[in-house]
């Protein structure tokens, strides 16, 4: 049987590319925009599936792929995909939000604790020798007694809520629609901020959520409020955040994502009230491996292809895991 033709538009682990090639006829999208357009004009009519990561998929891109049936994305966020144009063409979209939800929600709670208990600065306090000289460290805030607002109660937001309930936090949420959950719902994010001590952002980036957290929302949180962002950087108006911190209108923030990452404003990097991480919410060996597996599984399942994991592929994944363990980190780009 002829293998379906798919377009590889993603930087993925090498073993993933090998497994895709074992199951499909794979066309690699050139990285340079002009070359990519010429390539699609020549080959696009044959493409039935896409392995995606960060490549922008808009209506013009889709016009060059008239036979496209499915997009399998390595990412949870789909802000690089024109969802309306894709759905209008009846194209199926698969992403990995169900796979990375656990580790991203763990990261969100970890950031919230680091922020409210000031763990980063407390670590520096001990290492610099100040403890014997200055005595007891300043008190933090208890997340167990906090009113926490979750902005976006999807798969990740729900996983965060599950964890925070175990801590004893009082929860509420904002989103475009009410969910069947026993939790107060707000249809206005500013009102939610006004009634909470902390906002945790988990919503997707879209036109509706770009700069959703602006100066008015930050002011509603107030000088004792905290902000945690593990969604996408542009959900927060970064300049409004910088201005609020400069005038002490916010207690602090924990940010895993930034508006123009990997570039972070100096004002944020210098501010000790912030906890900053380099977009590592899903950054564990286990989750990144499962995300890559899902790219292949979604395509294979859609086309009815039985996937047999090859020994070479399993060996490559094992080698990658051991290498990451030895080096204490992987070279995997952030999601």
Q: What is the mean pLDDT of each run of 10 residues along the chain (335 residues)?
A: 91 90 94 90 96 93 96 91 94 93 97 98 97 96 96 96 98 96 97 98 95 98 98 97 98 98 96 97 94 95 82 50 43 45
Q: Which residue has the tokens 């509706």?
A: 208
Q: Which residues are catalytic?
A: 232, 261, 279
* Pairs from 274-280 (Cβ < 8 Å, separation ≥ 24): 274/245, 275/111, 275/114, 275/115, 275/119, 275/120, 277/107, 277/111, 278/334, 279/334, 279/335, 280/107, 280/256, 280/334
Q: What pLDDT was estimated at residue 310?
A: 54
* Domain 5-95+283-327: assigned CATH number: 3.40.50.720
Q: What pLDDT was estimated at residue 309?
A: 62
Q: What pLDDT was estimated at residue 306?
A: 85
Q: What pLDDT was estimated at residue 319?
A: 52
- From residue 228, give the alpha-carbon distance in Å to each of 49, 114, 116, 201, 251: 36, 11, 11, 6, 12
Domain locations in the chain as residue ranges: 5-95+283-327, 100-272
CB 168 within 8 A of CB 162: no
CATH class, range 100-272: alpha beta
Q: What pLDDT was estimated at residue 332?
A: 46
Q: What pLDDT was estimated at residue 307?
A: 75
């Amino acid at each position: 049987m002829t293998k379906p033709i798919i377009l590889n538009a993603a930087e993925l682990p090498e073993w993933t590319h090998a497994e895709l090639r074992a199951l499909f006829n794979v066309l690699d999208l050139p990285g340079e925009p002009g070359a990519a357009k010429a390539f699609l004009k020549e080959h696009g009519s044959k493409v039935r599936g896409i392995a995606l990561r960060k490549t922008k998929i808009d209506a013009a891109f889709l016009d060059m792929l008239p036979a496209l049936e499915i997009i399998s994305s390595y990412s949870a966020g789909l802000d690089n995909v024109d969802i309306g144009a894709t759905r209008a063409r009846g194209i199926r979209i698969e992403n990995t939000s169900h796979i990375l939800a656990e580790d991203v929600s763990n990261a969100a709670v970890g950031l919230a604790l680091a922020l409210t208990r000031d763990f980063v600065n407390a670590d520096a306090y001990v290492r610099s020798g100040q403890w014997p000289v200055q005595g007891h460290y300043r008190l933090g805030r208890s997340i167990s007694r906090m009113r926490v607002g979750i902005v976006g109660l999807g798969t990740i937001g729900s996983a965060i809520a599950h964890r925070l309930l175990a801590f004893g936090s009082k929860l509420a949420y904002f989103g475009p629609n009410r969910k069947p959950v026993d939790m107060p719902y707000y249809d206005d994010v500013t009102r939610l901020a006004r009634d909470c001590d902390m906002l945790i952002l988990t919503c997707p980036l879209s036109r509706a959520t770009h700069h959703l957290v602006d100066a008015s929302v930050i002011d509603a949180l107030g000088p004792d409020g905290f902000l945690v962002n593990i969604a996408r950087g542009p959900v927060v108006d970064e300049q409004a955040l910088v201005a609020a911190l400069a005038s002490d209108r916010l207690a602090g923030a924990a940010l895993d994502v930034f508006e123009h990452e990997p570039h972070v404003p100096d004002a944020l990097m210098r501010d000790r009230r912030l906890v900053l991480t380099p977009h590592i919410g899903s950054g564990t060996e286990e989750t990144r491996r499962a995300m890559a597996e899902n790219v292949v599984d979604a395509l294979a399942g859609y086309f009815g292809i039985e996937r047999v994991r090859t020994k070479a592929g399993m060996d490559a994944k094992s080698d990658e895991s051991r290498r990451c363990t030895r080096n204490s980190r992987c070279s995997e780009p952030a999601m």
